[in-house]
Each structure stands twice: as C-alpha cells, then as structure tokens.
Amino acid sequence: METAKNIGWIGAGVMGRSMAGHLMNAGHIIHLHTRTKEKAAVLLDGGAIWHDSPEQIARHADVVFTMVSFPKDVEAIYFGETGILKGTSAGMFLVDMTTTRPHLAERIHLAARERGAWSVDAPVSGGDIGARNGTLSIMVGGSKEAVTAVMPLLERMGKNIVHQGEAGAGQHTKMVNQITIAGTMIGVCEAMVYGRRAGLHMETVLRSIASGAASCWTLDNLAPRILARDFEPGFFVDHFIKDMEIALEEAARMDLSLLGLALVNQLYRSVKAQGKGNRGTHALILALERMSHD
C-alpha cells in the first residue's frame, strides 16, 4: 500500500462517496467537507474527519480532491472567501475530478503554482457503477510531475487512467467523451422506441445486438435499466446538460458547429422540463416516447 496521507475530499454525491471510500479503505485519513453533511454520513461513520470549509480541508491535507456538480461550485470551492486556495501551501496537490470548463482548470493550475502547489484536472467516466467498483476511466491533465505524484491515489478509483497533456487537457478529453455519449445515448434510446413500436421483445433484441457492431457500454449497462423503467441516476440529467453545454461553449470558442450535440442537448432539456432533471441520463427515452405519442 502507498504511504498513508492526509487527504481532503470535497463532495459526496452519487459517485464521490464511493471514490472517497476507496481511498479510506486504502488506509488514508480522509478530511471531508460537503454542501450537505447528511450525504456524507457513510464516510463520517467510517472515520472521515469533518471540516466546516474548503479552506480548513486544505490546511489539514497533503492532497485535496474535489468532486462536485457544476463549474460555479468549483469556482466557489477553490476561489471563494473560505476556498481551498486560501489554505493551500507549497508542496500540496489539488485534484479536481469534477467535469468542468477547461479554462477553469487552467486558472486553478496557475493559482496553485503561485502558491508553490500543483493542480491536476482528472474528470471521470463510468458512472455510479464504475465509482463503486473502482473501475472509472480517468482523463488527466497537468504536469508530468504532478500526475506521477497523485497516480497511486487515482489508481484506487480507476482502471483506465491516461495522462492527456497539460492543465485543461483532461477536461477537453472529458468533453470528447460526453459528445460521444450523447450520440450513443440518442441512438440507443431511439432504437428502443423503434423496437417496441415494431412489437419486438426488447430483452431478446438486446441479446442479438449487444454482442455485434452495436455493442457499447450504454447497451450493456443502461438499456436493461430502461427496460426495467429504472431511471435512478448513475449520472444526473441535470449534470449531463451542464456537460453538453460546456462542450458547445468550447466548440464555439474553436469555431466548430456540433449539430448532433445541440440536438441531443435540446432533447435533454425536454426531459428536464418534464421534471426529470434528477433522473439518470438514460431518461432521455422519456422525451422520445412523449414525442412518439404526440
């Protein structure tokens, strides 16, 4: 086991709880802060130490991980009046695993270096299943030295960990991931709507297509949930809308037109308008079903 460290962890949502738990199980001391303390009950019961602010977390930790919801949350947690950077000292490592804006990752990197610390942007893919199993795909941006230093900790949470380049590169890679997922999700959901309308037995259909050219993670993990009408979140609709809009903003900055992504984003906004923003991303089928009945 790697040498035990004082690790700060901020954010204990659907994925963050499991991710922090893996580090705790590896023998590290977890210093914890979340917006809603009740969500962290499992970690606190397991021995995590509560602190009242991100600044206090930084003052007690060698490495601080953040796994929150939106760019505005990242902004506040790092740059706020009681933010991480207020407590950051030389030699520390800051690792943001939130999916956020690439230029925000670059800004955190510069602020960390001004304090003699290091930052890494390390967004993840794999949802609640990957978080629980410690098999997340982690897309990493930052200097080689910083990435090497935090790699043993990342390896407790993921299996496919790839250093993509300098600060912000991890976030750009996550945008590529989310654009791919958006296209895949609409394909899977439209296929399910078509198959049902054609009178097919969809469990049987999946047995045929899931091992052919259509095979993908979404078919394996989310199509069965759709069939069971289980829309509990592995990843929230609201958060996916946030990710798609970051990708669309970044595309505009690069003078790119991503028409497919724009369409899927609008369909997800329809899901949100149905009051399903807190459902899993596979709830996209609800918008398509409504359209097919109109």
Q: Which residues are known catalytic residues?
A: 174
Enumerate residues 6+ apart whose C-beta is below 8 A from 133: none
- Contact of 161 with 154, CB cutoff 8 Å: yes
What are the angstrom distances between the C-alpha of 279 and each of 84, 153, 229?
31, 30, 11
* Residue 79: CA count within 13 A, CB half-sphere: 12
Euclidean distance between CA atoms 293 and 247, whole angstroms: 31
Helices 284-293, 169-197: crossing angle, 10 deg rounding: 40
Q: Give the chain's end-to-end CA distance (angstroms, integer).
A: 58
Enumerate residues 6+ apart whose C-beta is below 8 A from 127: 15, 221, 234, 235
